[in-house]
Chain A
């Protein structure tokens, strides 16, 4: 699948396109097929996201998993500060990143 990601303009937080809005959680990302570039351009012009881009990802039983490690780290947070990740209480949250 192809998904769209970027950063929130005001806060810089990593966000994922849900089909109608932007979410902090990668599991909310939807397959945009070939519409990714158009969505990115439209949303950036509307200042709802900063520096969006389209990436490859897999839909697994556990959730949406970006194909490249860089985007998996973006989805999780720094692997060396689990207390700062989106789900700091989840002991298995790091397992799918590396």
Chain B
């Protein structure tokens, strides 16, 4: 994985020193909150319901054992013994003290981590496929391109005050595991008819108040023009994106109002100009970065078989493991969704254990997924049973990946000052209901996503079943959506009808699941059945 050079480290260290001075001046009264707020936000520090919250960047979700141990130590030393892995492959701490944040950031910097650009109207953490570098179906490892864009976008002076926040995802396979088309820019690394590798650009996607699926605005950008084309996309947005209304300020609104064709035309015009400016780093730089992502020293001839005689292990392998490009290896996903648990939360002890296992068995590498789980990307099949046993003993062996228990949920009104309703208790009740009645095991792939407000951090628009919490005259109310997908067949869910109270929404989810169980045909997922039979049978069952 990528390692900081002297420039990376110097930039991060300088930012910590600068921030330390800003905090001192705030505590001494030399800065008002209005003056200080944009400074703390640039360093990932929010003021939430109960305390300050710090969001730490995990670039494209990749981290090593030393970093995960540090995240665990920070949870113990500066927080309350746990952290929350987010839907953009980051981690958040909920109980941070302002006066301790400079020391915390210095500790992060000591393991090549930071919280820069995890908030504010700038280019945020670049996300990617959590199986990158391991998946059998990828064209190339997308992370060198994500890293190149991370370096380009970090402290980019032109893009630190965009009309609104800006999110980029990079993938390199037909299977979309990063919700690529629901990002401001989604990049898919592709091979053209001439056999050259380049990038397809999808621009103007997003969730939130106005969900949109990004259209493809260019099918092939040569790799030695990747940064230049990205810059052109951002420049057109920065020039014309609305700054008078935050609800219409995201690039998706601009692309929608201009039309994809006109937006693409303007990008091409800007691109042609930028090509004359020579801003693209030499390909040698991309190759230098790429060297950090070389395959680990896989054992050749490793056994490619698994002993599945333990049924619990066999179930976990079936549900939580993914084919690896290297014979004899497999990728394993650690579910942070135990039955009745809080989606995405991990204790310091669990973080330490995951780090130990990664160091011993996964070439010192882990990935945070946008579904709030952790991946061990490179496990030798011969070691998998031992890995699973250790995870299971620590409550990390739940076999529910992509099932109804693997719920994405934002922190909701239990933690978030923007939320209108709680998300976590709804997730817990659904998880418990489907574990108790046994239906969870019969449903197969069913992606359920819950947001506590219209900002959609819980990706409710993209859930096969989505839930949106709203405030109805001071009372929590939950809308049900069906038919969303953030995979390659991206679609947006539709609201079924009137909302439900907390218990009602749990019943409604079970009702929708029952319709699927009744109507499904051989091999159909919930989403397939919904797409075949439409909304009406579900509405009939829900509302009579």
* Contacts beyond the supplied A78-B50, A79-B422, A80-B414: 14 A-B pairs with Cβ under 8 Å: A7-B51, A9-B27, A10-B27, A11-B98, A11-B99, A12-B51, A14-B49, A44-B33, A47-B27, A51-B47, A69-B474, A70-B419, A78-B414, A84-B80
Give 1 or 0 for each of B74-105: 1 = CB within 8 Å of chain A CB.
Answer: 00000010000000000000111111000000
Interface assignment of B424: CB less than 8 Å from any CB of chain A:
yes
Shortest Cβ distance from residue B151 to the other chain A in the assembled complex, whole angstroms: 32
Residues of B within 8 Å of A98, CB to CB, are: 502
A77 touches B51 (CB 8 A): no
Give 1 or 0 for each of A1-23: 1 = CB within 8 Å of chain B CB.
Answer: 00000010111111000000000
A12 touches B425 (CB 8 A): no
B: which residues have CB within 8 A of A?
A: 26-27, 29, 33, 47, 49-52, 80, 94-99, 342, 413-415, 417, 419, 422, 424-425, 428, 474-476, 502
Chain B interface main SS type: mixed
A80 touches B342 (CB 8 A): yes
In the complex, A77 Cα to B47 Cα: how many Å?
15
The 8 Å CB contact of B47, one of A10, A50, A80, is: A50
Shortest Cβ distance from residue B246 to the other chain A in the assembled complex, whole angstroms: 19
19 A-B pairs whose Cβ atoms sit less than 8 Å apart in the complex: A7-B51, A9-B27, A10-B27, A11-B99, A12-B97, A14-B51, A44-B33, A51-B47, A67-B474, A69-B413, A70-B419, A73-B413, A73-B414, A77-B50, A78-B94, A78-B414, A78-B415, A78-B424, A84-B95
Give 1 or 0 for each of A26-67: 1 = CB within 8 Å of chain B CB.
Answer: 000000000000000000100100110000000000000001
A10 touches B97 (CB 8 A): yes
Q: A84: nearest residue on chain B (CB-CB)?
A: B80
Residues of A within 8 Å of B502, CB to CB, are: 98
B27 touches A74 (CB 8 A): no
Shortest Cβ distance from residue A78 to the other chain B in the assembled complex, whole angstroms: 4
Residues of A within 8 Å of B475, CB to CB, are: 69
The 8 Å CB contact of B414, one of A9, A13, A79, is: A79
Shortest Cβ distance from residue B469 to the other chain A in the assembled complex, whole angstroms: 11
Chain A interface main SS type: loop
From known contacts A74-B49, A80-B414, infer whether A9 and B425 are also in contact, taking CB-CB under 8 Å.
no
Interface assignment of A68: CB less than 8 Å from any CB of chain B:
yes
Residues of B within 8 Å of A80, CB to CB, are: 342, 414, 422, 424-425, 428
A9 touches B428 (CB 8 A): no
B33 touches A73 (CB 8 A): no
Range for the number of chain A residues in contact with chain B: 20 to 34
The 8 Å CB contact of A79, one of B97, B99, B425, is: B425
Minimum-distance CB pairs A-B, first 6: A12-B51, A12-B52, A78-B414, A10-B99, A11-B97, A80-B424
Q: B423: nearest residue on chain A (CB-CB)?
A: A80
Shortest Cβ distance from residue A76 to the other chain B in the assembled complex, whole angstroms: 9
> Which of B27, B422, B475 counts the most chain A CB atoms within 10 A?
B422
A12 touches B96 (CB 8 A): yes
B47 touches A69 (CB 8 A): no
A12 touches B98 (CB 8 A): yes
In the complex, A13 Cα to B133 Cα: how many Å?
42
In the complex, A51 Cα to B48 Cα: how many Å?
11
In the complex, A98 Cα to B421 Cα: how many Å?
11
Shortest Cβ distance from residue A71 to the other chain B in the assembled complex, whole angstroms: 9
Residues of B within 8 Å of A69, CB to CB, are: 413, 474-476
In the complex, A51 Cα to B52 Cα: how many Å?
12
A10 touches B98 (CB 8 A): yes
In the complex, A80 Cα to B428 Cα: how many Å?
9
Q: A85: nearest residue on chain B (CB-CB)?
A: B50
Residues of A within 8 Å of B342, CB to CB, are: 80-81
In the complex, A14 Cα to B47 Cα: how many Å?
11
> Which of A47, A50, A70, A78 counts the most chain B CB atoms within 10 A?
A78
In the complex, A63 Cα to B475 Cα: how many Å?
21
Shortest Cβ distance from residue A80 to the other chain B in the assembled complex, whole angstroms: 5
In the complex, A69 Cα to B414 Cα: how many Å?
10
Residues of A within 8 Å of B476, CB to CB, are: 69
B47 touches A7 (CB 8 A): yes
Q: B417: nearest residue on chain A (CB-CB)?
A: A70
Residues of A within 8 Å of B49, CB to CB, are: 14, 70, 73-74
The 8 Å CB contact of B50, one of A9, A14, A44, A51, is: A14
Q: A46: nearest residue on chain B (CB-CB)?
A: B29
The 8 Å CB contact of A51, one of B33, B99, B422, is: B33
B47 touches A11 (CB 8 A): no
Residues of B within 8 Å of A77, CB to CB, are: 50
From known contacts A79-B425, A80-B424, infer whether A47 and B51 are also in contact, taking CB-CB under 8 Å.
no
Residues of B within 8 Å of A7, CB to CB, are: 47, 51-52
Residues of B within 8 Å of A78, CB to CB, are: 50, 94, 414-415, 424
Shortest Cβ distance from residue B374 to the other chain A in the assembled complex, whole angstroms: 20
B96 touches A68 (CB 8 A): no
A12 touches B413 (CB 8 A): no
Residues of B within 8 Å of A74, CB to CB, are: 49-50
Residues of A within 8 Å of B52, CB to CB, are: 7, 12
B29 touches A47 (CB 8 A): yes
Residues of A within 8 Å of B96, CB to CB, are: 12
In the complex, A35 Cα to B419 Cα: how many Å?
28
In the complex, A22 Cα to B98 Cα: how many Å?
18
Q: A83: nearest residue on chain B (CB-CB)?
A: B80
Shortest Cβ distance from residue B414 to the other chain A in the assembled complex, whole angstroms: 4
Q: B474: nearest residue on chain A (CB-CB)?
A: A68
In the complex, A42 Cα to B158 Cα: how many Å?
38
